[in-house]
Amino acid sequence: MRPFDHKNYHRNEDRITGDDSPCVVCGKGVKDRPGVLWVCVVDGGATYGVAGTSEGDAGYMGYFPVGPTCTKKHRVFWRGLGYAV
Ligand SMILES: [Zn+2]
């Protein structure tokens, strides 16, 4: 699974209203509230970084939110990278 790579990512992102941020997986709007999973993107946007990745790491792009549906759907994947979900 790659960041920003869902087949409907851009369509979903274009539908966002207000100040929600796009889910890094599917592009749907995510409200910034406690409990939202934030995951790191590295390699210039090509892959997810492990939990705790920091700015000095190769191709660091920052942390992006994951919506509740994509958090649940890919729970095993996130856990494999060390995220507490
Ligand atoms: Zn999503």
- Condensed to tens digits (0 to 9), the pLDDT of residues 9-55 reads 999 999 999 999 999 999 999 998 899 999 999 999 999 999 999 99
For residue 59, the CA-to-ligand 1 centroid distance in Å is: 22
Average pLDDT over residues 45-74: 95
Q: What is the pTM of this model?
A: 0.93
DSSP track, the chain: --TT--TTHHHHHHT--TTPEEPTTT--EE---TT-EEEEEEGGGTEEPPTT--TTSTT--EEEEE-HHHHHHTHHHHHHTT---
Residue 46 has what pLDDT? 95
Sequence-ordered list of residues with C-beta below 8 angstroms from that of 81, at least 6 positions apart, any chain: 39, 48, 49, 50, 51
In the chain, domain spans? 9-80
For residue 57, the CA-to-ligand 1 centroid distance in Å is: 25
What distance lies between CA 13 and its chain's CA centroid?
A: 13
* Pairing mode of beta strands 47-48, 37-42: antiparallel
For residue 74, the CA-to-ligand 1 centroid distance in Å is: 10
More confident residue, 53 or 58: 53
For residue 5, the CA-to-ligand 1 centroid distance in Å is: 11
For residue 79, the CA-to-ligand 1 centroid distance in Å is: 16
